[in-house]
A and B are shown apart, each in its own frame.
Chain A
Amino acid sequence: MQTTTTYPNVLILGIGNLLMGDEGVGVHLAQRLAKQAFSPGIEVVDGGTGGFHLTDYFTSYPCVILIDATLDGRQPGTIRLLEPRFSSEFPRSMSTHDIGLRDLLEGLQVMGQLPKVYLFAVSIVELQEMYIGLSPEVEDVMPELEKRVKALAGQLVGEKISSSAQSPSVHRV
């Protein structure tokens, strides 16, 4: 997706449960990005299983890039970029934290405080045991996910596109 709108601040918010394997993919990415340097205006937060606790992040930034896992039956590791405007447009089977998050987003919508939201949804398979870490299928797409999230964040704060990323590196799958 080539976006022309830019924002003074963009938050990269990885959410999920670190104890549930692939379900924690958003948190794994946030923890990875938190160690890196970004252009001014881009910030990274590990939102964990935050639910209502994340309100302030949504109301403090005009644009939020969410990263979360979905159980949607697609090939594990499939990355989709969505632009949900209503909670009904979020993937149905997001994770354990979806209850609070959906209610939160709906309330913000009613109050006219919902920022522009991009959602990177990463498809995962059902997990049979709690564990900390990622499956090979999801681990394999982490570099691509990282690249796409950073490219989108860069575009959204109006970074100049470097020669190495001339073609739009973020697009709808």
Chain B
Amino acid sequence: MSNRIVVDPITRIEGHLRIEADIQDGKVVDAYSSGTMVRLIEKILQGRDPRDAWAFVGRVCGVCTTVHSLASCRSVEDALGIVIPPNAEIVRNLMYCAQYMHDHVVHFYHLHALDWVDVVNALQADPKATSELAQSISNWPKSSPGYFSDLQKRIKGFVESGQLGIFANGYWGHPAYKLPAEVNLIGLAHYLEALEWQKEMVKVHAIFGGKNPHPNYLVGGMACSIGLDDVSAINAERLAYVGRLFEEGKRFIEQVYIPDLLAIASFYKDWGAIGGGLGNYLAYGDLPTNGYNDPSSFLIPSGAILNKDISTVYDVDLREDAQVQEFVSRSWYEYADGDGAGLHPWKGETKLNYTGPKPPYEHLNVEEKYSYLKTPRWKGNAMEVGPLARMLVGYARGREDFKEVVDMALAKLDVPVTALFSTLGRTAARGLETQLIANWAMDFYESLLTNIRNGDTRMADTTKFNPERWEASAQGVGHTEAPRGALAHWCVIKDQKLENYQLVVPTTWNASPRDPEGKSSAYESSLMDNTPIADPEQPLEILRTVHSFDPCMACAVHLYDEDGKQVNRVKVL
């Protein structure tokens, strides 16, 4: 006998995700992940000028707006054979680093921490003990007893009023919360401090991209100009400001995010054996230091790992027909040549065929099609993408900088390397890579200053901007590593217009339904891996594992289903 529970929508994510899980003897024994909104951005792009695509895809999502614009520019540049100047590469990298630092911190504190931190319990903490604890794990200055006691007083009124969702809508008091009240109070304090901090970090986008949200990109380079004494350009004053933003960002990550992550993780080591799932990891790599066409120069290396075997890293080629393919046998689409086929994105098709139940419904028919997400596979394998995949590929490739931060965390937590293949590992990997990115950002910043001092202010190559210089037909692939995982845009250009445009986004890799062979993707597989459910009415454990992937359904799927998205948290049958 098993119970089927439905969590719909999963809260604290961007977009709409539904999980159905079968529970037996207090554990998840089967799980289905469904995107119940549909995305049709591909249709909007068909027939448009390829040079404009970045602006449209940048609007897909509010969380990772820049990464879609980046992937789009790279895709078109790849098709047209455009190589951007070094400064444009550095500016893109700096915006990328700022995006990561912002996004990972916001995910940790505002979307994921409340799965581990019981904010209501924080009211029970002793401010003096909290202060001593905070000072023992970090030099961060906001740590006096008075600071924590003032915060408690302020929060008390809000908790009692029941008017704020963060205090009203959680599973507070759930037995799976294990932190002492003092750690909960530190977590709550930094939830609020991170909110204040993140608004500074995104200013990097406004400086280089002209505006935020949705900063400007340019096929061939970047749209900003450098002139140290020019009031309207990236001048000396703005560059100094960027330097300060990155320094302050790095300080917050080193003195707040990482110590909090390790402190919280030390109470949840059991989650180092929960939620691992596939054991297959895929990264496309990013942060080029010698051009997009030289993957060996990427600070985040590319590669694939199968069956948790970190002694072998496979090379990845996104152009090869048999490597990346999308299947629709369990998705509400149809292919011209039948649903059994897998299509490489250059030949991708986007034709809807909803065969699910008419809303409102109790259950999806999970034996047939049950999601608006397609199912991508790498050489036929289900793959996990995201921070854990990137850290493992870097680690397995023997990169010293990756090994240093990973080994530091393993030693501090006193857990074996196998603990990485888990929900805890996923959440830890996100923090550790933020640390790496914050370090690299300072290097990129120095390189930009050096180039400018040496008189190189080139920011774009416009020699091929004119469509008359293009081949009659061309195809390209633009890949990047979005904060939540490997992302690529494939474009086909014909007679100066986009003939086909396909996005395979990170959440599609992770949250997709089963493939024609019945193999689960990452969310389902992770939920089926040793996930306890203490209380089916409050499936906090499901949220922990799903949130550890940092779901962002906005670009995976779009558009609401017809049930008006009523909050229907859990159904026990």
> Which A residues are within 8 Å of any B CB, using their own CB?
17-20, 46-56, 59, 71, 73, 86-88, 92-93, 96-97, 99-100, 102-104, 106-112, 126-132
Contact = CB atoms under 8 A, between A and B. Distances in A.
B202 interface: yes
Given A56-B203, A71-B564, A130-B41, A48 B195 contact: no
Contact of A111 (B14, B40, B196): B196
Interface stretch (B219-227, B463-471, B518-526, B553-561): B553-561
27 contacts: A17-B60, A17-B558, A19-B56, A46-B214, A49-B60, A49-B62, A49-B214, A51-B62, A52-B63, A53-B205, A53-B212, A88-B168, A93-B565, A97-B14, A99-B13, A99-B14, A99-B15, A100-B62, A103-B110, A109-B158, A109-B164, A110-B155, A110-B164, A126-B562, A127-B560, A129-B43, A130-B558
A153 B163 CA distance: 28
Nearest to A52: B106
A104 B164 contact: no
Nearest to B215: A53
Contact of A131 (B44, B168, B199): B44
Given A99-B14, A100-B14, A126-B562, A88 B165 contact: yes
A110 B63 CA distance: 23
B199 A56 contact: yes
Interface of B: 11-15, 39-41, 43-44, 56, 59-63, 65, 102, 106, 110-111, 154-155, 158, 163-166, 168, 191-192, 195-196, 198-199, 202-203, 205, 212-214, 554, 558-560, 562, 564-565, 567
Contacts of B168: 88
A129 B40 contact: yes
A132 B44 contact: yes
A124 B102 CA distance: 32
> For chain A, what secondary structure do more than half of its interface residues adopt (helix, strand, loop), or is it mixed?
mixed
Contacts of A104: 195
A78 to B, nearest CB: 16
Contact of A87 (B62, B164, B214): B164
A17 B15 CA distance: 12
Contacts, number: 136
Nearest to A55: B199
Nearest to A111: B192
A107 B202 contact: no
Contact of A108 (B43, B158, B195, B560): B195
5 residue pairs, one from A and one from B, having the closest CB atoms? A49-B62, A55-B199, A50-B213, A51-B62, A107-B195
A153 to B, nearest CB: 21
A103 B44 contact: no
Given A56-B203, A96-B558, A106 B564 contact: no
Given A87-B165, A93-B564, A107 B59 contact: no
A155 to B, nearest CB: 28
Nearest to A50: B213
Contact of B61 (A46, A49, A71, A110): A49
B163 A103 contact: no
A19 B40 CA distance: 10
Given A52-B198, A53-B202, A110-B154, A86 B163 contact: yes
B536 to A, nearest CB: 25
Contacts of A108: 195
Nearest to A112: B154
A106 B166 contact: yes
B164 A88 contact: yes
Contacts of B195: 55, 104, 107-108, 111
Contacts of A103: 12, 110-111, 165-166
Contacts of A59: 199
A131 B165 CA distance: 33
Contact of A48 (B102, B213, B562): B213
A128 B39 CA distance: 10
A74 B39 CA distance: 25
Residue among A52, A55, A126, A129 with the highest chain B CB neighbour number at 10 A: A52
Contacts of A107: 110, 166, 191-192, 195
A83 to B, nearest CB: 15
Contact of B44 (A47, A99, A126, A130): A130
Contacts of B203: 56
Contacts of B564: 71, 73, 93
Given A48-B213, A107-B192, A71 B164 contact: no
A48 B212 CA distance: 9
Given A73-B564, A93-B564, A51 B40 contact: no
Residue among A51, A88, A96, A126 with the highest chain B CB neighbour number at 10 A: A96
Nearest to A109: B164
Contacts of A50: 62, 212-214
A20 B559 contact: yes
Nearest to A85: B163
Contacts of A126: 559-560, 562
A107 to B, nearest CB: 4
B213 A130 contact: no
Nearest to A45: B211
Contacts of A93: 560, 564-565
A96 B164 contact: no
Contact of A19 (B12, B15, B60, B213): B60
A104 B214 CA distance: 18
A86 B169 CA distance: 14
Contact of B192 (A51, A110, A127): A110
A165 to B, nearest CB: 32
Contacts of B165: 87-88, 102-103, 106
B565 A48 contact: no
